[in-house]
Structure 1
Amino acid sequence: MGSFVVETILLIFLIVLVQKSESVGFAPELYCGLENCYDVLEINREEFDKQKLSKAYRALARKHHPDRVKSKEEKGLAEERFRVIATAYETLKDEEAKTNYDYYLDHPDQRFYNYYQYYRLRVAPKVDVRLVIVGTILVISLFQYLSAKHKFAEAIEYATGVGKFRNMAIKDGIDKGLLEMDRNGKLKKTKGVDNDAIIKQIIIDNLDVTGGYKKESLYETLAWHTIVFPVTICRYIKWNIQWYWRFSVQKEELDDEAKLYLIRRYLGVSQLEFDQRYEADIDNLFERECWIKENCLVWKAEKDAAEQEKMAQSGRYKRYKRYMKNAGTISFVDEE
């Protein structure tokens, strides 16, 4: 929005300038004013050589540098000349600016366009788009990583307060000799030992959290996915070619892995969501031959209807489904 406003103001400003400049030719406000930038640097346009441009500029800059004169009047003239020389150099050394200037020389009658190109280039920020893209990816990735870390910490705090997980952690700590019980069956308080910190660390080491609250990882960030994107594309293409060759050309029978893929695709869920929501239904999905699209859609409709009925009858079940969708599952690794 801000860029649009700036460009609108710029266009109005240019229209005013153009209306004031009725004659066709060099415009005092553009580039080297009423002089030809090539002539200022004593360069032949038809024989332009960028390698010689810096040499010509340095020679003229030394010759007309304001420090070489002492009187105020001569110094003022020298400063003006030095600015023109510097402007000519800046115009011709930049490829885009040189292209616009050459067009300006060849099409002096297109005054409005020449004004626009000149001021557009001056106003536009000199930022490498590649750096902007890389910076944006890094910022997003950092946010993803910190957000995942915060959510995992929330899951740990939740698990630490759940008696089931806390008791399992205490038992594991006692088995490993990290914790001790007194005669009354309570944790023994030993100087220099933080029982709560030990319990929390055991929970962190053993907790298996999936979904939106799983442990943070650099491999789940946009930066990593961007790096491995070419490999991912190649694998995707290879997998599709193999699938087409096996099941469309050679007419192979679908194996269990292929059937599960088709079922997941017809259900319209990711691999992670499929593992979380439908793991207990796999046998039934195979019995109903849900790798056939029509069968799968019928099964899904029945499943959705049953879930909606449960949700209507149980607020707790509704909260559970919302948690399953957003947070996944949380359990000890060795939990039965």
Structure 2
Amino acid sequence: MQALRLRVARKSREAAGVAAFELRSLDGSALPPFTAGAHVDVLLREGLVRQYSLCNAPWERDRYVLGVQRKVDSRGGSVAMHDEVHEGAIVDIGLPRNLFSMAPAKRSLLFGAGIGITPLLSMAEVLHASGRAFELHYSARSPEQAAFRARLAAAAYADRVRFHFSTGPGANRLELPPLLATPDPEARLYVCGPPGYIGDITDFAAAHGWRADQVCVERFGATTASSGADRAFDVVLARSGRRFTIAPGQAIHEVLLSEGVEVPLSCEQGVCGTCLTRVLSGVPDHRDSFLDASEHARNDCMTVCCSRATSPELLLDL
């Protein structure tokens, strides 16, 4: 990972369980550019790398802003950010990457839930600055759990923001029919949030005639979809001929690392694509959110951090 060494200039509470981190260069120099929807890899400690969306405006070259939710089921990343990364700390991050980029459209509908609001914030800034039509629909359990709520309420585009809360006084859950029942061929949808939330929106859109190329999704966790049973299979490394058995409940990368085989890793959830590996023979059981449906169908590569196999054996280009 090509790293930037930055300083945490400010750490603030943005909602219950959500902290914002403002990162700046050590010498005051401009940071590498990024585009709306981009993220960075944050190296928290050796072997612990996590991805967080950049949520400030892309033209702000003096800082990067990240929003991080402390997760109850954290595998170490969000807890480390909240408990170990304080104002003044020095952190190493990768260069910005974008797997959730915007495309030109007459109108954009942005849907975010929970911490899924983060990449949409930079998108809203760009859409507003360019004079393009958009709406931002933000769902949270309650106002206290809506990250960056004050920023959105005070934004120049606040009249295009709709908050949807599922509990408390004035609860107003997101209603999809008024928004998506009639497809707009010149619009694009951008969706980020928990898997169930994403599935509800994408399924509704597909059922009502929205084209697949109009819907762009950012997932912060792997899908649980599986095309085969969780059973044992063998992995063969093409370059050495070594063979390993992957038992039910084991991940390919865990077995390979335990046997001294180097595998590039980052998110370990099938989201970032760092561990993407060529498949020379065999049929993967894709469980990632990085590859799209057409790439899954080709079966010529797989994420070894979370995907498995439907065939008895996989021959990998390792």
Task: Looking at secondary structure, tell me which structure has more strand per residue.
Answer: 2
When normalised by structure 1's length, the TM-score is 0.20
When normalised by structure 2's length, the TM-score is 0.20
